[in-house]
Protein backbone atom coordinates (compact mmCIF):
# COMPACT_ATOMS: atom_id res chain seq x y z
CA UNK A 1 0.00 0.00 0.00
CA UNK A 2 1.04 3.56 -0.65
CA UNK A 3 -0.41 6.94 0.36
CA UNK A 4 -1.26 9.55 -2.25
CA UNK A 5 -3.07 12.84 -1.57
CA UNK A 6 -5.35 11.66 1.21
CA UNK A 7 -5.87 8.04 0.17
CA UNK A 8 -4.22 4.69 0.82
CA UNK A 9 -4.11 2.41 -2.22
CA UNK A 10 -2.04 -0.28 -3.94
CA UNK A 11 0.88 1.30 -5.84
CA UNK A 12 -0.50 -0.03 -9.16
CA UNK A 13 -3.54 2.19 -8.73
CA UNK A 14 -1.63 5.37 -7.94
CA UNK A 15 -1.79 8.02 -10.68
CA UNK A 16 -0.10 11.42 -10.98
CA UNK A 17 -1.17 13.96 -13.62
CA UNK A 18 1.60 14.60 -16.16
CA UNK A 19 1.55 18.31 -15.27
CA UNK A 20 2.67 17.60 -11.73
CA UNK A 21 5.58 19.98 -11.10
CA UNK A 22 7.55 17.09 -9.64
CA UNK A 23 7.39 15.42 -13.06
CA UNK A 24 7.87 18.60 -15.11
CA UNK A 25 10.49 20.46 -13.03
CA UNK A 26 11.64 18.13 -10.27
CA UNK A 27 9.99 20.79 -8.07
CA UNK A 28 9.70 19.00 -4.75
CA UNK A 29 11.49 17.56 -1.74
CA UNK A 30 11.65 14.16 -0.08
CA UNK A 31 12.74 12.14 2.92
CA UNK A 32 13.78 8.53 3.43
CA UNK A 33 13.04 7.23 6.92
CA UNK A 34 14.17 3.82 8.15
CA UNK A 35 11.71 1.79 10.22
CA UNK A 36 13.00 -0.91 12.57
CA UNK A 37 10.53 -3.35 14.15
CA UNK A 38 7.72 -1.08 12.88
CA UNK A 39 9.13 2.00 14.63
CA UNK A 40 10.38 4.94 12.57
CA UNK A 41 13.97 5.75 13.53
CA UNK A 42 14.74 9.40 14.43
CA UNK A 43 11.35 10.52 13.11
CA UNK A 44 11.45 13.97 14.76
CA UNK A 45 14.79 14.69 13.09
CA UNK A 46 13.55 13.56 9.67
CA UNK A 47 10.44 15.74 9.99
CA UNK A 48 12.60 18.67 11.03
CA UNK A 49 14.80 18.19 7.96
CA UNK A 50 11.68 17.92 5.79
CA UNK A 51 10.61 21.32 7.15
CA UNK A 52 14.06 22.72 6.34
CA UNK A 53 13.79 21.39 2.76
CA UNK A 54 10.26 22.77 2.34
CA UNK A 55 11.38 26.16 3.68
CA UNK A 56 14.32 26.01 1.26
CA UNK A 57 11.97 25.71 -1.74
CA UNK A 58 9.32 28.02 -0.23
CA UNK A 59 6.59 25.40 -0.09
CA UNK A 60 4.36 25.32 2.96
CA UNK A 61 4.22 22.08 4.88
CA UNK A 62 0.96 20.31 4.03
CA UNK A 63 0.93 18.49 7.38
CA UNK A 64 1.75 19.02 11.02
CA UNK A 65 4.27 16.66 12.61
CA UNK A 66 1.48 14.73 14.30
CA UNK A 67 -0.38 14.33 10.99
CA UNK A 68 2.81 13.08 9.32
CA UNK A 69 3.39 10.75 12.20
CA UNK A 70 -0.10 9.30 11.95
CA UNK A 71 0.11 8.87 8.15
CA UNK A 72 3.44 7.09 8.49
CA UNK A 73 2.10 4.87 11.25
CA UNK A 74 -0.88 3.84 9.10
CA UNK A 75 1.42 3.09 6.18
CA UNK A 76 3.76 1.03 8.35
CA UNK A 77 0.75 -0.98 9.57
CA UNK A 78 -0.48 -1.50 6.00
CA UNK A 79 2.82 -3.08 4.92
CA UNK A 80 4.20 -6.50 5.78
CA UNK A 81 7.85 -6.00 6.71
CA UNK A 82 9.00 -5.39 10.26
CA UNK A 83 11.82 -3.25 8.92
CA UNK A 84 10.80 -0.76 6.24
CA UNK A 85 12.16 2.16 4.32
CA UNK A 86 9.61 4.97 4.08
CA UNK A 87 9.90 7.31 1.11
CA UNK A 88 7.98 10.55 1.57
CA UNK A 89 7.68 13.09 -1.21
CA UNK A 90 6.01 16.52 -1.54
CA UNK A 91 5.83 18.44 -4.82
CA UNK A 92 4.42 21.88 -5.66
CA UNK A 93 1.39 20.22 -7.23
CA UNK A 94 -0.25 20.22 -10.63
CA UNK A 95 -0.35 23.37 -12.78
CA UNK A 96 0.06 24.57 -16.36
CA UNK A 97 3.78 24.50 -17.18
CA UNK A 98 5.36 27.78 -16.09
CA UNK A 99 8.54 28.06 -14.04
CA UNK A 100 7.11 30.60 -11.58
CA UNK A 101 5.12 29.24 -8.61
CA UNK A 102 1.43 28.60 -9.37
CA UNK A 103 -1.16 30.21 -7.08
CA UNK A 104 -3.69 28.28 -5.05
CA UNK A 105 -2.42 24.83 -6.00
CA UNK A 106 -2.45 21.95 -3.51
CA UNK A 107 0.88 20.13 -3.11
CA UNK A 108 1.15 16.48 -4.11
CA UNK A 109 1.92 14.21 -1.16
CA UNK A 110 3.15 10.71 -1.82
CA UNK A 111 4.46 8.14 0.68
CA UNK A 112 5.55 4.59 -0.07
CA UNK A 113 7.13 1.85 1.96
CA UNK A 114 9.61 -0.77 0.84
CA UNK A 115 11.23 -3.52 2.87
CA UNK A 116 14.39 -2.12 4.45
CA UNK A 117 17.35 -4.04 3.10
CA UNK A 118 20.37 -3.15 5.17
CA UNK A 119 23.79 -4.14 3.78
CA UNK A 120 24.49 -7.89 3.89
CA UNK A 121 27.23 -9.17 6.21
CA UNK A 122 29.49 -10.22 3.32
CA UNK A 123 29.66 -6.62 2.09
CA UNK A 124 30.33 -5.32 5.59
CA UNK A 125 33.14 -7.85 5.97
CA UNK A 126 34.91 -6.87 2.75
CA UNK A 127 33.82 -3.27 2.43
CA UNK A 128 32.84 -1.63 -0.84
CA UNK A 129 34.61 0.21 -3.63
CA UNK A 130 34.14 3.91 -4.37
CA UNK A 131 35.50 6.40 -6.86
CA UNK A 132 36.21 10.09 -6.41
CA UNK A 133 34.34 12.51 -8.63
CA UNK A 134 33.93 16.23 -9.02
CA UNK A 135 30.89 17.51 -7.18
CA UNK A 136 29.01 19.29 -9.96
CA UNK A 137 25.72 19.77 -8.09
CA UNK A 138 24.06 23.06 -7.20
CA UNK A 139 24.91 25.14 -4.12
CA UNK A 140 21.90 24.08 -2.02
CA UNK A 141 22.74 20.44 -1.35
CA UNK A 142 21.33 20.93 2.18
CA UNK A 143 17.85 20.75 0.59
CA UNK A 144 16.72 17.16 0.05
CA UNK A 145 15.36 17.95 -3.41
CA UNK A 146 13.78 15.33 -5.68
CA UNK A 147 15.70 16.80 -8.63
CA UNK A 148 18.58 14.32 -8.35
CA UNK A 149 19.98 14.23 -11.88
CA UNK A 150 23.60 15.04 -10.90
CA UNK A 151 23.42 12.45 -8.10
CA UNK A 152 22.00 9.88 -10.52
CA UNK A 153 24.80 10.51 -13.04
CA UNK A 154 27.52 10.45 -10.37
CA UNK A 155 26.22 7.23 -8.85
CA UNK A 156 26.03 5.62 -12.29
CA UNK A 157 29.61 6.73 -12.97
CA UNK A 158 30.58 4.79 -9.83
CA UNK A 159 28.60 1.71 -10.91
CA UNK A 160 30.15 1.84 -14.40
CA UNK A 161 33.60 1.69 -12.76
CA UNK A 162 32.60 -1.34 -10.70
CA UNK A 163 32.19 0.76 -7.54
CA UNK A 164 29.20 1.42 -5.33
CA UNK A 165 29.51 5.08 -4.44
CA UNK A 166 31.10 8.31 -5.65
CA UNK A 167 32.96 10.37 -3.05
CA UNK A 168 32.43 13.96 -4.13
CA UNK A 169 35.14 16.61 -4.13
CA UNK A 170 34.56 20.33 -4.60
CA UNK A 171 37.39 22.88 -4.74
CA UNK A 172 39.86 20.48 -3.13
CA UNK A 173 37.57 19.37 -0.28
CA UNK A 174 35.25 16.44 0.28
CA UNK A 175 31.54 17.18 0.43
CA UNK A 176 29.66 13.85 0.67
CA UNK A 177 28.69 10.82 -1.41
CA UNK A 178 26.26 10.76 -4.34
CA UNK A 179 23.64 9.31 -1.94
CA UNK A 180 25.41 9.20 1.43
CA UNK A 181 27.56 11.18 3.86
CA UNK A 182 31.26 10.34 4.06
CA UNK A 183 33.63 10.23 7.03
CA UNK A 184 37.32 9.46 6.95
CA UNK A 185 39.72 8.24 9.63
CA UNK A 186 43.21 9.72 9.79
CA UNK A 187 45.66 9.21 12.65
CA UNK A 188 42.99 7.39 14.69
CA UNK A 189 40.68 10.42 14.46
CA UNK A 190 37.28 10.32 12.81
CA UNK A 191 36.95 13.35 10.52
CA UNK A 192 33.59 14.69 9.34
CA UNK A 193 33.03 17.67 7.05
CA UNK A 194 30.96 20.38 8.77
CA UNK A 195 27.33 20.69 7.73
CA UNK A 196 26.78 23.50 5.26
CA UNK A 197 24.94 24.24 2.02
CA UNK A 198 27.24 21.85 0.09
CA UNK A 199 25.99 18.65 1.73
CA UNK A 200 22.86 17.03 3.05
CA UNK A 201 22.67 17.19 6.85
CA UNK A 202 22.44 13.43 7.27
CA UNK A 203 20.44 11.94 10.10
CA UNK A 204 22.81 8.96 10.23
CA UNK A 205 25.75 11.41 10.14
CA UNK A 206 24.35 12.97 13.33
CA UNK A 207 23.93 9.59 15.00
CA UNK A 208 27.54 8.67 14.19
CA UNK A 209 28.87 11.93 15.63
CA UNK A 210 26.70 11.54 18.73
CA UNK A 211 28.01 7.98 19.20
CA UNK A 212 31.57 9.23 18.77
CA UNK A 213 31.00 11.93 21.41
CA UNK A 214 29.21 9.61 23.84
CA UNK A 215 31.76 6.82 23.59
CA UNK A 216 34.81 9.09 23.47
CA UNK A 217 35.95 8.17 20.00
CA UNK A 218 38.38 10.85 18.91
CA UNK A 219 36.68 12.96 16.26
CA UNK A 220 36.80 16.35 14.60
CA UNK A 221 34.24 18.18 12.52
CA UNK A 222 36.25 20.17 10.01
CA UNK A 223 36.88 20.53 6.30
CA UNK A 224 38.48 17.37 4.90
CA UNK A 225 40.88 17.90 2.00
CA UNK A 226 41.12 15.81 -1.13
CA UNK A 227 44.64 14.77 -0.07
CA UNK A 228 43.32 13.50 3.27
CA UNK A 229 40.66 11.47 1.47
CA UNK A 230 43.22 9.94 -0.88
CA UNK A 231 45.53 9.03 2.02
CA UNK A 232 42.85 8.09 4.57
CA UNK A 233 43.32 5.10 6.88
CA UNK A 234 39.57 4.39 6.72
CA UNK A 235 36.61 5.79 4.80
CA UNK A 236 33.01 5.25 5.92
CA UNK A 237 29.73 6.04 4.27
CA UNK A 238 26.46 6.59 6.11
CA UNK A 239 22.83 6.73 5.09
CA UNK A 240 19.43 5.82 6.47
CA UNK A 241 19.17 2.70 4.33
CA UNK A 242 22.83 1.66 4.27
CA UNK A 243 23.53 2.60 7.90
CA UNK A 244 27.35 2.58 8.17
CA UNK A 245 29.53 0.90 5.55
CA UNK A 246 33.27 0.71 5.08
CA UNK A 247 34.78 1.91 1.80
CA UNK A 248 37.86 -0.26 1.35
CA UNK A 249 38.87 0.67 -2.21
CA UNK A 250 39.04 4.15 -3.65
CA UNK A 251 39.76 4.76 -7.33
CA UNK A 252 40.94 1.15 -7.62
CA UNK A 253 43.45 1.40 -4.73
CA UNK A 254 43.10 -0.06 -1.23
CA UNK A 255 42.06 2.33 1.55
CA UNK A 256 44.50 1.78 4.45
CA UNK A 257 45.18 -1.95 4.52
CA UNK A 258 42.19 -2.58 2.23
CA UNK A 259 40.06 -4.07 5.04
CA UNK A 260 37.31 -2.52 7.16
CA UNK A 261 39.07 -0.62 9.95
CA UNK A 262 38.78 -0.55 13.72
CA UNK A 263 36.82 2.70 13.88
CA UNK A 264 34.29 1.26 11.43
CA UNK A 265 33.93 -1.92 13.51
CA UNK A 266 33.41 0.05 16.71
CA UNK A 267 30.93 2.53 15.22
CA UNK A 268 29.01 -0.20 13.42
CA UNK A 269 28.46 -2.21 16.58
CA UNK A 270 27.58 0.91 18.60
CA UNK A 271 25.06 1.85 15.92
CA UNK A 272 23.44 -1.61 16.02
CA UNK A 273 23.31 -1.49 19.81
CA UNK A 274 21.80 2.00 19.78
CA UNK A 275 19.16 0.90 17.24
CA UNK A 276 18.15 -1.99 19.49
CA UNK A 277 17.92 0.27 22.53
CA UNK A 278 15.68 2.72 20.69
CA UNK A 279 13.50 -0.07 19.26
CA UNK A 280 12.98 -1.49 22.73
CA UNK A 281 11.76 1.93 23.84
CA UNK A 282 15.00 2.89 25.55
CA UNK A 283 16.59 6.30 25.71
CA UNK A 284 16.95 7.83 22.24
CA UNK A 285 19.09 10.82 23.22
CA UNK A 286 22.77 10.32 22.81
CA UNK A 287 24.02 13.86 22.94
CA UNK A 288 27.01 13.95 25.24
CA UNK A 289 29.34 16.76 26.19
CA UNK A 290 32.13 16.95 23.65
N1 LIG B 1 19.87 9.44 0.71
N2 LIG B 1 23.70 12.72 1.26
C3 LIG B 1 22.92 12.46 0.20
C4 LIG B 1 23.16 13.16 -1.08
C5 LIG B 1 21.88 11.50 0.34
O6 LIG B 1 21.09 11.24 -0.72
C7 LIG B 1 21.71 10.82 1.58
C8 LIG B 1 20.64 9.79 1.79
C9 LIG B 1 22.57 11.14 2.65
C10 LIG B 1 22.44 10.48 3.99
O11 LIG B 1 21.42 11.06 4.77
P12 LIG B 1 20.61 10.20 5.86
O13 LIG B 1 21.60 9.64 6.80
O14 LIG B 1 19.70 11.19 6.50
O15 LIG B 1 19.87 9.12 5.10
C16 LIG B 1 23.54 12.11 2.45
C17 LIG B 1 18.68 8.64 0.82
C18 LIG B 1 18.80 7.44 1.70
C19 LIG B 1 18.16 8.35 -0.57
O20 LIG B 1 18.16 9.28 -1.37
O21 LIG B 1 17.72 7.23 -0.84
pTM (two decimals): 0.97
Rounded-to-integer distance, Cα 141 and Cα 196, Å: 8
pLDDT tens, position by position, 97-134: 999 999 999 999 999 999 999 999 999 999 999 999 99
Catalytic residue among 7, 144, 216, 283: 144
Q: Tell me: pLDDT of 84 over 50.
A: yes
**Across 155-178, average pLDDT:** 98
Q: Can you tell me which atom of ligand 1 is nearest the CA of 205? A: 13
Q: What is the pLDDT of residue 282?
A: 81
Residue nearest to atom 9 of ligand 1 (CA): 180
Residue nearest to atom 16 of ligand 1 (CA): 180
Q: What is the pLDDT of residue 288?
A: 60
Rounded-to-integer distance, Cα 29 and Cα 146, Å: 5
pLDDT tens, position by position, 239-272: 999 999 999 999 999 999 999 999 999 999 999 9
Residue of 240, 245, 271 with the most ligand 1 atoms within 8 Å of its CB, for mutation = 240
Residues with CB under 6 A from ligand 1: 32, 151, 176, 179-181, 200, 202-205, 238-241
CB 10 within 8 A of CB 1: yes
User: Is 216 one of the catalytic residues?
Assistant: no
Distance 252 CA to ligand 1 centre (A): 24
CB 90 within 8 A of CB 107: yes
* Beta pairing partners, 243: 239
Q: Tell me: pLDDT of 92 over 80.
A: yes
Taking all residues of the chain, what is their mean pLDDT, rounded to a whole number? 97
Rounded-to-integer distance, Cα 267 and Cα 214, Å: 11
pLDDT tens, position by position, 179-200: 999 999 999 999 999 999 999 9
Residue nearest to atom 11 of ligand 1 (CA): 202
- pLDDT class of 279 with cuts at 50, 70, 90: confident
Q: Tell me: pLDDT of 289 over 60.
A: no
Q: What is the pLDDT of residue 83?
A: 97
Percent with pLDDT over 90 in the chain? 96
Q: Can you tell me which atom of ligand 1 is nearest the CA of 199? A: 2
Residue of 32, 155, 168 with the most ligand 1 atoms within 8 Å of its CB, for mutation = 32
Q: What is the pLDDT of residue 15?
A: 98
| Number of other residues whose CB lies within 10 A of the CB of residue 111 | 22
Rounded-to-integer distance, Cα 34 and Cα 87, Å: 9
CB 183 within 8 A of CB 236: yes
**Across 48-56, average pLDDT:** 98
Amino acid sequence: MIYLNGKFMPIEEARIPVLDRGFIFGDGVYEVIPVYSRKPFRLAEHLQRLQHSLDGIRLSNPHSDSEWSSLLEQLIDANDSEDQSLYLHVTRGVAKRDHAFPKGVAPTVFIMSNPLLTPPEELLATGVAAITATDNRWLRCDIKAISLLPNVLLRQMAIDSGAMEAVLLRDGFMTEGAASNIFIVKNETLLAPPKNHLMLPGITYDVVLELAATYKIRHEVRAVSEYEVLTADEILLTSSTREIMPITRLDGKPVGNGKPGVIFEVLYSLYQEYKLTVMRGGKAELKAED
